[in-house]
Structure 1
Amino acid sequence: MPTSLPTIDTAPFQNSFVDEMRGEASFDNRPRQVPGYHYSRVQPTPVQDPRLLAWSDELAAYLGLARPAERGPAVDALAGNLVTDTMKPFAARYGGHQFGSWAGQLGDGRAISLGEVTATDGTPWEIQLKGAGPTPYSRRADGRAVLRSSLREFLCSEAMHYLGVPTTRALSLVRTGDLVVRDMFYNGNPQAEPGAIVARVAPTFVRFGNFQMMASAGELDNLRALADYVIRRYYPELGEPTGPEVYVRWFEEISRRTAVMLAHWMSVGFVHGVMNTDNMSILGLTIDYGPYGWLEPYDPDWTPNTTDFGSRRYAYGQQPNVGLWNLWQLARALAHLVPDPELLRPGLDLYSSTFEATRHAMMLRKLGLTSRNEADDKALFEALHEALAESEVDMTLFFRHLSHAAPAVRQDPAAAAAAWRELLAAATYSASPEEEQKLRSWLSHYQQRLQQETAAPEAIREMMLAANPKYVLRNYLAQQAIEAAEAGDLTVLERLMTVLKTPFAEQPEHEELAAKRPDWAREKPGCATLSCSS
């Protein structure tokens, strides 16, 4: 007889970070500076009436965990009301650059890690409760999170995974039964909102800012200990960290992974919204889903984050440069581990070359091009970005419709005019014929490039459909799920979860979820713009 899976309240936890790093165990949650430590032991603050709203079945199966009942001990553990004997909850200490300025000590202000569970393949995964109460790093905050931001993080973590983007995951979404006061746009209009906690999962939540904090405080022993811990556990292919050459290779691998992640973001039109160095995973995973969004009208200067409207530092088109800047800040911290900081420069160069090569390869697949003509294709890609921006084109719809139109044009060039006309009608918002002219010209050049391909039209179609999702988590769709969940209706959330698990499939029964952003969502809070408030 097969052994039944444990629920999270009966699963054994390991605690490598607590056991191996230097931490304080005062369990004092008062906001304060915590010099000399990697983390603080904390206890989650209980909530009134925890209830399970959403659960990732596939992730749970991988972790070897059974789905819990709507209420009960397992949900108590997912809400922070129950800490089992094998859990050693902690909040990590880190710093970071926020919007380009050093912010000093930050840390897990509302995230509390329970420890690690061992997945079915033998790898440990850390489970962290976001919104589980105050920690020493909460500063002036309450350590809580509201339903709207928690639901968005749960949905997007899983949606990005199924898009193939390197990301942290989300296991559960629990409503707390408490109200949390938030000023959504920091405009003097605070409201009481339903509270929630998302259990997010990753091999580790260590970020660039952990190393920056140690370097900034002059805690070089802590810096080296943290680097050695991360290398041994998460970069074992580099070998034992016995000399500076290992740190150099490690930084290069961090840079490579970060470049691949950024290329994935750009490929699907994802905008993180708050790429502070404390929101950069040391594993090259997308982390901290706050004011994110997807390009709808293609605009390189678009940011979903109202806090960023002044400088647009984290706009879509700026993300690759910010990734490099953030790595430079990490290199400044890691420079204490090597005899010459210049040894880390090749890692920055590797980021740039990896990003360009990865994005180029992804764009070839998105456009159904198998033969290579590097110089001409680079010019073709650059012209496309300009044309998309000028024509107010929905990025996701453009590439998805192109996936159907291009193979037909490849097979029958005479059908091009009608195919391109249909594509523009489906993918543009309100562009005039004059604004569409550059895109029409680009489509003509693309048609000529397509004729150079030797692959069969069906092979081109399959490649493009596998590279261009039909369904992404548009902000207005997330907002509809939030409003329904706040009213007690989980069907909208559950439908979205189902559809986003297969974003490249046609799923004709869910066609309306692939539609352009409706006019009513253009200015609606939560649909067009968000803030860091959660």
Structure 2
Amino acid sequence: MMKPLTFDNRFVRELPGDPITDLYTRQVSDCLWSAVQPTPVKQPQLLAYSPQVAEMLGLSDADMQASALIQTLGGNGTLPGMFTYATRYGGHQFGHWAGQLGDGRAIYLGELLHAGKRFELQLKGAGETPYSRSADGRAVLRSSLREFLCSEAMHALGVPTTRALSLVTTGNQVVRDMFYDGNPQLEPGAIVCRVAPSFTRFGHFELLASRDELPLLKHLIGFTLDRDFADWWPSTGIALDIHQPDPGLIEAWFAEICTRTAILIAHWMRVGFVHGVMNTDNMSILGLTIDYGPYGWIDNFDPSWTPNTTDAQGRRYCFGRQPDIARWNLERLAEALASVLPANHTLAQSLAVFDQTYVRELTHALANKFGFDQWQDGDGELVNQIFELMQRAEVDQTLFFSRLATLDLHAPQLSTLSDAFYTAQGQQQFGADIQQWLHHYTQRILSAGIAPATRLQKMASANPIYVLRNYLAQEAIDLATAGDHSRLLTLLKVLSQPYTWQTGMEAFAQKRPDWARQKAGCSMLSCSS
């Protein structure tokens, strides 16, 4: 029998809820949440769980195997103290205001307290809510497995992220048109239990501003400061009135959001992660990576690459545009917050904090990736040169940096990088240029007198060996669909130590194989899940 858990559901206790309790799709007004029960499933089975997240929540291995918890994580009932609900928010999607969106298939289990910390628990794929629109509120195994693995992989990489406690199959089949080509198929259903201090998004504030629900917007700002920024706002020296937060405090808070967002994006660029759907409803107020849809890692370096088939033409959310899109999203949040500020208050200076922080954080990350002691004049040109060559020669980003760390600084050879090239033609055509770059790079390192151990330590801390490449995730999906969960569990373990060489795991540190270049799920993905 599992031990009792402690819940303190402040969001639903302190913020107004939807008075309508019937379950049907609707526009909701003057509230922030709607009570809703998960839709029961046929046969929930625990495929995998994160031992780290379980420990963080105070759950033992035995607790994770308890029937009552597995049933709850599958959407069949709740544990004492839980309160299930979905939240109301809006957002800009692909640059256009989409109006009310909300948790269409995410259902909260409440706010768990453990070891002095608060965690929101949320089931993704647990059934319909008032915000489901025309959808069924379900999720399929392929997308759920990807979210489960990536949440934990990103945390291990040092990237701010929501976490994932569990992956549960439901025993139900879900109809999905994966390619949006009019050929829907039955797929196995699954549910991920997501965990974060808060899942509040930019879109929560945007919707209230767009509907002119300004008293409620002020209340949400004050509540968010008091609950989710309790370790930060006292440092401003400005007292907090939850219902009427001080304009100066709002300005400082927005600058903090800009700072956290800039740090997040610099991490994405450092490890080669592409979110794929950077709508404002997918932006965390805490600066966390949130909502793992058609994400991907850069294989061959290409700033214009996007993993999202929906974005294939416009490439709004491609790798290289992520910093600009993050700033654009912050501008939309600034517009929402400005609706409750006096006319003489502006958030322009706070927005500038994003630019300053991003440049600082990216510069620091690049210095570590290349093993520089510190950033110097001329380093920008040197770095840009190799990134341009990597794109033209079709060079794998992850492998390039892991191999660069092993380069003989006194006799640099192109052969050190050979397995990072995707084609022999690319190596032949651009090999001489890259060899010349290696000469300039080694001179830069040697002239600075950087100790070899220092260089290697810096590079090892910034350059992962193992990342969740799309083809690796797809192999795990294919096996899990056939009933074999071994690859899922192996990846979970390997990706928990992404910066350390692991004996016997060399196959997971290879570049994308040729067969995966155009294979569905390995090159690009849709939002269908």
Same fold (TM over 0.5): yes
Secondary structure of the structure 1 residue equivalent to 2:132:
coil
**AA of the residue aligned to 2:16:** R
Letter in 2 for 1:37: C
Q: Distance in 1 between matches of 2:412 and 2:280?
A: 46
Asked if 1:316 corresponds to 2:319, the answer is yes
- C-alpha deviations, 1:471-495, integer Å up to 9, x for none? 0000000001111111111110010
| Deviation digits for residues 326-358 of structure 1 (CA, Å, limit 9, x no counterpart) | 000000000022213762011211101111110
1:427 aligns with 2:426: no
Aligned match of 1:54: 48
Counterparts in 2 of 1:72-83, with a 5 A limit? 72-83=67-78
Deviation digits for residues 482-518 of structure 1 (CA, Å, limit 9, x no counterpart): 1111111111001000100000001131001101101
Match of 2:305 among 298, 302, 305: 302
1:181: which partner in 2? Answer: 175
The 2-side partners of 1:432 and 1:233 are apart by 54
The one of 510, 518, 521 equivalent to 1:515 is 510
2:151 paired with 1:194: no
- The aligned counterpart of 2:226 is 232
Q: 1:283 pairs with 286, 290, 304, which one?
A: 286
Q: Residue 167 of structure 1 is aligned with which of 146, 149, 161?
A: 161
Shift of residue 284, structure 1, vs aligned partner: 0.2
Amino acid across the alignment from 1:306: T
Q: Is it true that 1:452 corresponds to 2:453 in the alignment?
A: no
| Counterpart-to-counterpart distance in 1, 2:344 and 2:403 | 48
Residue 392 of structure 1: which of 386, 391, 394 is its match? 394
Matches within 5 A, 1:275-424: 275-340=278-343, 343-373=346-376, 375-405=377-407, 408-409=408-409, 413=410, 415-417=411-413, 420-423=414-417
Distance 2:390 2:171 in 1: 45
SS in 2 for 1:404: coil
The CA distance in 1 between the partners of 2:503 and 2:513, in whole Å, is 19
Residue aligned with 2:447, SS: coil
Cα deviation, residue 185, structure 1: 1.4
**Matches for 1:209-248 after TM superposition, within 5 Å:** 209-236=203-230, 237-239=232-234, 240-241=240-241, 242-248=245-251
State yes or no: 1:157 paired with 2:124. no
The verdict on how the C-alpha distance between 1:54 and 1:20 changes in structure 2, with shifts beyond 3 A counting, is same
Q: Deviations over 1:406-438 (max 9, x none)?
A: xx31xxx1x213xx3221x11110114223444
- 3-state SS of the aligned residue for 1:434? helix
Amino acid at match of 1:499: V
* DSSP-derived class of the 1:508 partner: coil
User: Any idea what the Cα deviations from partners look like across 1:90-138, whole Å, max 9, x if unmatched?
Assistant: 1010000000000000000000011111132x11000000000000000
| Aligned equivalent of 2:29, options 35, 38, 47 | 35
8 A contact 1:111–1:130 mirrored in 2: yes
Equivalent residue letter for 2:7: F
Query: TM-score normalised to the size of structure 2?
Result: 0.95
CA contact (8 A) 1:91 1:112 kept: yes
Aligned to 1:45: 39
- The 3-state SS of whatever aligns with 1:52 is strand
1:471 aligns with 2:466: yes
Q: Which runs of 5+ in 1 are unaligned?
A: none
TM-score normalised by structure 1 residue count: 0.95
Once superposed, what is the RMSD of the aligned Cα atoms? 1.4
- The AA in structure 2 aligned to 1:131 is G
Alpha-carbon offset, residue 12 of structure 1: 2.4
Give the residue type in structure 1 aligned to 2:331. Answer: W
Q: 1:283 to 1:434 in 2, by over 3 A?
A: same
Deviates more, 1:426-435 or 1:288-297: 426-435
Alpha-carbon separation, structure 2, partners of 1:518 and 1:160: 23
Contact 1:52 1:71 in 2 (8 A): no
In structure 2, relative to structure 1, the CA distance for the partners of 1:209 and 1:341 (3 Å cut) is: farther
**Other structure's SS at 1:136 match:** coil
| Distance in 2, Cα, partners of 1:523 & 1:71 | 42
Secondary structure of the 2:98 match is strand
Which of the numbers 260, 273, 276 marks the counterpart of 2:276?
Answer: 273
Number of residues of Structure 1 aligned to a counterpart in Structure 2: 517
Question: Which runs of 5 or more structure 2 residues have no equivalent in the other structure?
Answer: 235-239
